[in-house]
Structure 1
């Protein structure tokens, strides 16, 4: 039997909600996919030792500055960078997690903030405005084709970032893949950016993937919809 240990960074933010959806997703895979005999272990991650046990990691929504500060103070920031960029373990960041996984971030608080990096993008924090301007949008996510993409996904945007620019990188990472956009403002796109599964160049980029790293602007953990969690776990299992 295959085993997979998935952690959720539990320094601040919606880590318990992610764990709930991971349990739902793991149960769904185990009960519906006869070919997948996987023993899932799910855990909260606060220490380097707990991180070392993980095959994959989710960095939840919350306050990116706080998560970064606590990670640095607790000595797990550098191990996180190693996990993502050296070991290249599957890592998914939602909202604040997307910010932390980006190579660059705009509109940071005075003095900036430490980032983990791994995604060759620049994000714009709080792109849609303040907490009071939070909103929900029924989205079509083409990458969820086998999970019923046409049913629409409930996107929850709370002080959400967007990817405002795909950065030119000189390292060995694969190209950044744009997975989804929210119709709206135009984004600055570099030549050669993958437009996989998108219809045109307009709209705010709200989901990207580069190699082992996935980032989404919105909060799937604040819904009862586990389709992205199911998709992500299946992506990991397919690579093992």
Structure 2
């Protein structure tokens, strides 16, 4: 049996503790990542929900943009949820002008529309049919983006009302919703399986 992977959760802002808790139910070793050197030895990284501009600006300040890009280039798997999906995207629409330019990792060939499902008061939970799952997933949407378009090589895993809300490209996974708030760990299990096929990235990052 394969040993549990060592996974990082970006812990600058947002719901990183909830991701950590779910990962640990599978026996994964979890590291809170705040600085580039903490990516060393990880096979995967979760970018949590939160406020994407705030998280992005902190990533720039702490030198994490290039470090995470190098982590991915070396084979590390990355899962972006809600704000994290925005940070993964190559194209981002809907950033308010007063926020300035939205920092991005520019890794996944997707176009994301911010706040596509409305404001905080428009949050909702809905059963979601996910490719490979036998029963619907209880997805929680909070100021959620939508994946408005995908490029070649991107696999669509779930839609809500014909809008793409979960997609995978190689060892990148992006979701519009918050799986960490549901108590259902199947999407985290999917990500851990992606990690098991990835080799831990060296400590020299």
Pair in the same fold by TM > 0.5: yes
For 1:39-118, what aligned pairs fall within 5 Å after superposition? 40-84=28-72, 86-110=73-97, 111-118=100-107
Deviation at 1:89, TM superposition (A): 1.1
- Give the equivalent residue in structure 1 for 2:142: 158
Give ranges in structure 2 of 5+ residues lacking alignment: 200-205
SS in structure 1 opposite 2:55? helix
Deviation at 1:138, TM superposition (A): 1.2
Count residues in correspondence: 196
Deviation at 1:2, TM superposition (A): 3.5
Rounded Cα–Cα distance in structure 2 between residues aligned with 1:93 and 1:142? 18
Deviation at 1:141, TM superposition (A): 1.2
Rounded Cα–Cα distance in structure 1 between residues aligned with 2:190 and 2:107? 21
SS in structure 2 opposite 1:209? strand
Rounded Cα–Cα distance in structure 2 between residues aligned with 1:163 and 1:3? 31
Residue from 135, 139, 144 that aligns with 2:128: 139
Structure 1 segments, 4+ long, off by >6 Å, are none
- Give the equivalent residue in structure 1 for 2:203: none
Deviation at 1:238, TM superposition (A): 4.3
Residue from 209, 215, 218 that aligns with 2:168: 209
Rounded Cα–Cα distance in structure 2 between residues aligned with 1:64 and 1:133? 18
* Larger Cα-atom Rg: 1
Structure number with greater CO (CA < 8 Å, separation at least 6) is: 2
Rounded Cα–Cα distance in structure 1 between residues aligned with 2:14 and 2:190? 22
SS in structure 2 opposite 1:65? helix
> 8 Å contact 2:90–2:109 — kept in the other structure?
yes
Q: Deviations over 1:6-47 (max 9, x none)?
A: 0000000000000000011x14xxxxxxxxxxxx32110001
Give ranges in structure 1 of 5+ residues lacking alignment: 28-39, 169-174, 184-202
Q: Single out whichever of 100-109 and 228-237 deviates more from structure 2.
A: 228-237
Instruction: Normalising by structure 1, report the TM-score.
Output: 0.77
- Give the equivalent residue in structure 2 for 1:178: 156
Deviation at 1:3, TM superposition (A): 5.3
Instruction: Normalising by structure 2, report the TM-score.
Output: 0.90
Q: Deviations over 1:25-76 (max 9, x none)?
A: x14xxxxxxxxxxxx3211000111112311100001110000001111121
Distance 1:139-1:72 versus aligned 2 partners, 3 A rule: same
